[in-house]
Chains A and B, each alone.
Chain A
Amino acid sequence: MTSLAMLMPIALFMGLCSLGTFFWALRGGQFEDLEGAANRILIDDEQDDTP
């Protein structure tokens, strides 16, 4: 019973953390352009510095 009293709040807290992260991402506009985000990693940022 004591282990239960420990584990349940921990599990719920961790679950709430992930839910909060998802909401933060949603509000930050990370789901606005999924196709663009997938493609942007391919853009070569170093291009301007190369001689």
Chain B
Amino acid sequence: MKPAVTIVDEPLAETVLVVPGMHCAGCIARIERGLEALSAVARARVNLSARQVRVAHHPALAVPDLVSALEAIGFASQPRAGEPGPQASAVKPLLAPLAVAGFAAMNVMLMSVSIWSGADGATRALFHWVSALIGVPAIAYAGRPFFTSAWAVLRRWQSNMDVPISIGIVLATALSLYETATGGRTAWFDGTLMLLLFLLAGRTLDAMMRDRARAGVDGLLRQAAPGAMVLTGAGALEWTAARDLSPGMLMRVAVGERLAADGRIVTGETSLDQSLLTGESAPVAAAAGDSVHAGTLNLDAPVDVRVTAAGQDTSLAEIARLMDAVGQSRSAYVRIADRASRLYAPAVHTLALASFLGWMLTGAGFHQSAVIAIAVLIITCPCAIGLAVPVAQVVACGALMRAGVMVKDGSALERLARIDRALIDKTGSLTLGRPTPEPAALAALTAEEAAVALALASHSSHPLSRALTHALAAVQAMPAAVEDVAEIPGFGLRGCWRGIAVALRRPQHAATSAVALDIAGRPARLIAFTDRLRPDCADALGELAGMGVPCSILSGDNARAVAEVARATGLTGQASASPRDKADAIARLQNGGYTVLMVGDGLNDGPALAAADASIAPGSASDVGRQAADIVFLGDSLIALPRAIRAARRTMRVVRQNFALAIGYNVLAVPLAILGYVTPLIAAVAMATSSILVIANSLRLGRAAR
């Protein structure tokens, strides 16, 4: 135990940090103990499912101190943007109703079994009363998710799946109470509770799938800068959160940092990676007087930037607004369960009403007609239908997740299954989005040169150096003993090898990104870097074409770079597209009757990802890209695209089979119900059997992602 913290006069501040790198018990222990070792930290509690740590600390402790403390023990982290409250889980509000429905259904079913096996007279009345005592409060509590949702749409004169469910439940409960009070032969508490239990189970599965995928996607590191070091009037540096930045402030941006606001460079000269905004991979040189944008990465040297726009006024925020505007069309999509209920509910209600009127006309009396009408309602109530969609989608999403494809929402699978056209961004989607040294240039190096290059490159965190280190290590080069290595901003790395001066530097003239290796007394070696196509690119595009999904390229990069990739992949392409152009291109195709899939990663793809009927982003995508996409795939291989579409189509086939099974099975029992032969026993058996059939059929999707 560490000594109690002596700060009692001030309330503790709370910070939530996202730590994507934690995955085991050892990580939990290291993070919690590492943070609690700081004297200003009172408590640190890890939530592994959400990949977050909640820290209670002294208000004077700044966020960057926590981040650097975590970095010291080996974890990259970012403060979570937005309000500190936990993200609302869709599962939690359903757990309590599910437990209540399960408890009540079990107990009432026990009573019903004795009634079915012949309990009579006073015993039956007693059992009915006890069932009512358990059933009515349980139905009122566990049915709330359905009642509130049904009431919300009824007020706007619309209908969804919950309306027929609520009407059925309320009528069945009311009739059962009447039967119990008048000492009748049958009560339907058991069937009603079982219906609620199955429906709640389906809904909980649906919510669980959404929660799990969302936690996975949120856990990946965010790219927008949370704040900046600001030079105050007194000349001191002070960390300021992004939302507190205002125009006129002077921020100092270190190498490897992202800009937190738009601005103009005051002093310094550097090159910037703007791929987040433009999708263009090559670094752009920037000097004093140039304007720079939030979200760009500073590569070469520290610069001072005068803020011109912050918060909601940056070009980053502008793209976010554009995404909101174009995302409206997707929210108009009606899920298949709701479409089915629009057809199914009027049919069921007409049938029940018709049997009521029919029996009244034959002179059966009000009471008997009402009992028969309720029996029809219960038999046809969409119990297995409530399971038909979520179970299939949960099983398919589980299979996809094991294959490295995370689906955020069940409706994404429905939309993905209807895709017949795909647009793919170039940088980061078709290609890896990171520079890799050309294999020919590496092969041309002698073993000694490779050893020197590796030794120099391993000293720097510049993207080109890191890529070179990685590539050389992959061909089993051993680092040479280079001494006195120094990194000079804007130049490169310099060192001393066997008494000879060596350097790994920016070349004077190069069309593409490259580094030059200097060894005194030998000719300089130029190592060019290119952005390679993702592995399996040709196979994946071929499979997509075979599935009836023609692809083309939609890129913000220049025409020359796009033409090169278009030649390599055999696709047509549109170059120099702005974020708005991309969204427009999708709208044009949609107007032409296509259902469009967008594959993209950058911030500049955000509006297009939101506008498309379905969207997929690679796991290496920007924060915005991952948020806007329905589906995120991990790993480098592009084969995830045809795999996801194939799994989605299979899922929809199984969902349709499930509907046929559920409705077909209930249709068999409907004539019995209309003729007045259905007892609660038959209703219970019909409901359970059709549900089990639907679940068994859905489990076949366990191998859907193959």
Binding site for B on A (CB under 8 A): 1, 4, 8, 11-12, 15-16, 18-19, 22-23, 26, 31-36, 39-44, 47
Asked if B130 contacts A15 (CB within 8 A), the reply is no
Asked if B49 contacts A26 (CB within 8 A), the reply is no
Distance of A40 Cα from B26 Cα, bound (Å)? 9
Asked if A36 contacts B48 (CB within 8 A), the reply is yes
| Stretch of B99-107, B314-322, B424-432, B675-683 with 4 or more beta carbons under 8 angstroms from chain A | B99-107
B354: interface (CB < 8 Å)? no
Asked if B96 contacts A34 (CB within 8 A), the reply is no
B488: interface (CB < 8 Å)? no
B29: interface (CB < 8 Å)? yes
29 interchain pairs, CB-CB under 8 A: A8-B130, A11-B107, A12-B130, A15-B106, A15-B107, A16-B103, A22-B99, A23-B96, A26-B92, A26-B95, A26-B99, A33-B46, A33-B47, A33-B48, A35-B48, A35-B49, A36-B28, A36-B47, A39-B24, A39-B28, A40-B25, A40-B28, A41-B25, A43-B25, A43-B26, A43-B28, A43-B29, A44-B29, A47-B29
Asked if A32 contacts B28 (CB within 8 A), the reply is no
Distance of A11 Cα from B107 Cα, bound (Å)? 9
Give the residue of A1, A26, A40 whose beta carbon is less than 8 angstroms from that of B96.
Answer: A26
B495 to chain A, nearest CB (A): 41
Contacts of A44 in B (CB 8 A): 29
Distance of A31 Cα from B204 Cα, bound (Å)? 14
Asked if A39 contacts B96 (CB within 8 A), the reply is no
Contacts of A26 in B (CB 8 A): 92, 95-96, 99
Contacts of B416 in A (CB 8 A): none
Give the residue of B25, B49, B92, B99 whose beta carbon is less than 8 angstroms from that of A42.
Answer: B25
List the 7 shortest-distance A-B pairs measured between CB atoms, nearest first: A36-B48, A42-B25, A39-B25, A35-B49, A33-B47, A43-B29, A35-B48
A30 to chain B, nearest CB (A): 11
B259: interface (CB < 8 Å)? no
Binary A-proximity of B25-55 (CB < 8 A = 1, otherwise 0): 1101100000000000000001111100000
B171: interface (CB < 8 Å)? no
Distance of A47 Cα from B47 Cα, bound (Å)? 22
A21 to chain B, nearest CB (A): 10
Asked if A19 contacts B99 (CB within 8 A), the reply is yes
Contacts of B103 in A (CB 8 A): 15-16, 18-19
Asked if B95 contacts A31 (CB within 8 A), the reply is yes
B685 to chain A, nearest CB (A): 24
Contacts of A36 in B (CB 8 A): 28, 46-49
Asked if A34 contacts B49 (CB within 8 A), the reply is yes
Give the residue of B24, B47, B100 whose beta carbon is less than 8 angstroms from that of A32.
Answer: B47
Contacts of A31 in B (CB 8 A): 92, 95
A16 to chain B, nearest CB (A): 8
CB-nearest residue of chain A relative to B138?
Answer: A19
Contacts of B106 in A (CB 8 A): 15
Distance of A26 Cα from B92 Cα, bound (Å)? 8
Distance of A42 Cα from B100 Cα, bound (Å)? 33
B134: interface (CB < 8 Å)? yes
Distance of A40 Cα from B693 Cα, bound (Å)? 39
CB-nearest residue of chain A relative to B134?
Answer: A12
CB-nearest residue of chain A relative to B95?
Answer: A26
Asked if B99 contacts A33 (CB within 8 A), the reply is no
B209 to chain A, nearest CB (A): 15
Contacts of B47 in A (CB 8 A): 32-33, 36
CB-nearest residue of chain A relative to B32?
Answer: A43
A8 to chain B, nearest CB (A): 7
CB-nearest residue of chain A relative to B89?
Answer: A32
Distance of A36 Cα from B29 Cα, bound (Å)? 11
Distance of A47 Cα from B32 Cα, bound (Å)? 14
Contacts of B50 in A (CB 8 A): 33
Contacts of B24 in A (CB 8 A): 39, 42
